[in-house]
Amino acid sequence: MTTPIRVAVAGASGRMGEMLIEAAHAGEGVRLAAAFDRPGSPVIGRDAGAAAGVVTGVTITSDAAAAIAAADCLIDFTRPEGTIAHLAHVVRLGKAAVIGTTGFDAASKAEIAEAARVVPIVFAPNMAVGVNAVFRLLDVAARILSEGYDVEVIEAHHRFKVDAPSGTALRMGEVLAQALGRDLKQCAIYGREGVTGERDSQSIAFHAIRGGDIVGEHTVLFAGIGECIEITHKAGSRMPYALGALRAVRFLAARGAPGLFDMQDVLGLR
195 and 68 assigned to the same domain: no
Enumerate the active-site residues.
Answer: 157, 161
Query: Does residue 130 register a pLDDT over 80?
Result: yes
Report the CATH number at residue 76. Answer: 3.40.50.720
Report the CATH number at residue 205. Answer: 3.30.360.10
Answer whether 0.85 is exceeded by the pTM. Answer: no
Range(s) of the domain holding residue 123: 5-127+238-266
93 and 121 assigned to the same domain: yes
With a pLDDT cut of 70, the percent of the chain lying above it is: 100
Question: SS3 for the chain, per residue?
Answer: CCCCEEEEEECCCCHHHHHHHHHHHHCCCEEEEEEECCCCCCCCCCECCHHHCCCCCCECECCHHHHHHCCCEEEECCCHHHHHHHHHHHHHHCCEEEECCCCCCHHHHHHHHHHCCCCEEEECCCCCHHHHHHHHHHHHHHHHCCCCCEEEEEEEECCCCCCCCCHHHHHHHHHHHHHHCCCHHHHEEECCCCCCCCCCCCCEEEEEEECCCCCEEEEEEEECCCCEEEEEEEECCCHHHHHHHHHHHHHHHHHCCCEEECHHHHCCCC
Q: Please give the mean pLDDT across all residues of the chain.
A: 96
Query: Does residue 1 register a pLDDT over 70?
Result: no
pLDDT of residue 87: 98
pLDDT in tens, 6-36: 999 999 999 999 999 999 999 889 999 999 9
Query: Does residue 269 register a pLDDT over 90?
Result: no
Mean pLDDT of 89-113: 96
190 and 103 assigned to the same domain: no
pLDDT of residue 24: 94
Please state the domain count of the chain. Answer: 2
Mean pLDDT of 209-219: 96
